[in-house]
Structure 1
Amino acid sequence: MKAMPGRIRIIGGNLRNSRLNVPDLPGLRPTPERVRETLFNWLAPTITGVRALDLCAGTGALGIEALSRGAAAVQFVEPERALAEALRGNLARLRADTAEVALMDATQFLRGTPRAYGLAFLDPPFAAQLWTPLARLMEQGGWLAEGAQVYVESPRDQPLALPPSWVLHREGHAGEVRYALYRRSQNDPLS
């Protein structure tokens, strides 16, 4: 079941049942509650203390859910001013002081100075077809720690060309959406 437009509920952790205000924008596709619940059940053993990157943040629901469940800090990246401002407002209201919002394009952000994250969310707008270039920039640019986990959300029938060091850990489907959790292998299989 999808959340009503304009409001999204955090489903677990210390911010459970908090509502996020979300602007009504065309193409905005928040991750459904059922998918977030599954994802964070997968992440439960490793989420505490992790530094996360919510690339193409949109509503910020994935990153805020991570904060709610024990992530140490989350970097949000969102180029749409209305979404970034709504996200900043939600974070301030929730007193999430270990979160930062960068108002910029994901590609531009990944061309900056890297910081290694233990968890990354890669859920770009489907029409933009950014999975491969953003995955490549994250992998080659030093944005992922050894053993990092990367969540990827894409159309169910979309073939993805992800780095060979990203090993599929778990996956599922919800309607026409494929969601998957990858682990960055300790050693690149091509080296």
Structure 2
Amino acid sequence: MRVVGGKYRGRKIKSMPKREDTKLLRPTTERVKESVFSILNNYLEDTRFLDLFAGTGAVGIEALSRGAEKVVFVESDRRFCKLIRENLKSLGIPPEKYEIICDDFTKALKKLGKRGMKFDFIYADPPYERGYYTRVVNMVKNLGLLDEDGLLILEEPKKNPFIPEDEEWLVEKRHYGTTIVSFLNFNPEGEE
């Protein structure tokens, strides 16, 4: 796996050996990552980015490579938290640019909400089969984790796409093979 663009473009990111991660991880494909970041590229400078269900940290590292000010990685599996730390260290990314929360996503989101954290972008790539989409969307909205113009980006399966409670939240949907990426904003009209 490699960083697709920005400061660390072309640098390698470690993943778990295949025998260990086949049931644990479904990494974001290079095509999806490249497409999403080509959309976000001009808007990433000095932003706060949350990589939810971070896995190897590839999505958050891509955001840092393209100018994000700070990335918070949330991952529940301690082995992957260690791997994220190793990847960040191998790239020489300063510790003040990131935070790793090794906890269940619901506990992590509540902690971030209590701290009053707000993000410009939240990327969520939960395990497809677990049905976490509604919980993620509701928690992000109810805890006020997005800035007014912030986007929640959901990676989801084409065969069972997520339908938001309010269609107005949906800014855009992109299709990439068997994957759909939805971009949501909870303040579509710029309302206060």
TM (norm. structure 1) is 0.88
- Aligned in 2, Cα 1:131/1:188: closer, same or farther, shift over 3 Å? farther
Unaligned segments of structure 2, at least 5 residues = none
The question of whether the paired residues in 2 share the 8 Å contact of 1:170 and 1:182 is answered with yes
SS in 2 for 1:39: helix
Structure 2 residue aligned with 1:106: 105
Asked if 1:132 is matched to 2:125, the reply is no
Structure with the larger helix share:
2
TM (norm. structure 2) is 0.88
The question of whether the paired residues in 2 share the 8 Å contact of 1:165 and 1:185 is answered with no
The one-character-per-residue Cα deviations of 1:110-152 (angstroms, maximum 9, x if unpaired) are 1222401010001101122111101101110121110101211
C-alpha displacement of 1:93? 1.4
Q: Distance in 2 between matches of 1:162 and 1:188?
A: 19
Q: Distance in 2 between matches of 1:115 and 1:165?
A: 26
Q: Distance in 1 between matches of 2:88 and 2:50?
A: 15
Asked if 1:12 is matched to 2:5, the reply is yes
Matched positions, count: 183
Q: Distance in 2 between matches of 1:186 and 1:174?
A: 24
Question: Which AA in structure 2 matches 1:54?
Answer: D
Question: Which AA in structure 2 matches 1:101?
Answer: I
Unaligned segments of structure 1, at least 5 residues = 1-7
| Regions of 4+ moved over 4 Å | 186-189
C-alpha displacement of 1:177? 1.3
Structure with the larger strand share:
1
The one-character-per-residue Cα deviations of 1:30-57 (angstroms, maximum 9, x if unpaired) are 1111111110111122111110011111
Counterpart mapping for 1:58-77 below 5 A: 58-77=55-74
Q: Distance in 1 between matches of 2:154 and 2:133?
A: 8
- Superposition CA RMSD, Å: 2.0
Choose the corresponding residue for 1:83, options 80, 83, 92. Answer: 80
Choose the corresponding residue for 1:96, options 79, 93, 96. Answer: 93
C-alpha displacement of 1:174? 2.4
Q: Distance in 1 between matches of 2:163 and 2:105?
A: 18
Percent of matched pairs sharing the same residue: 32
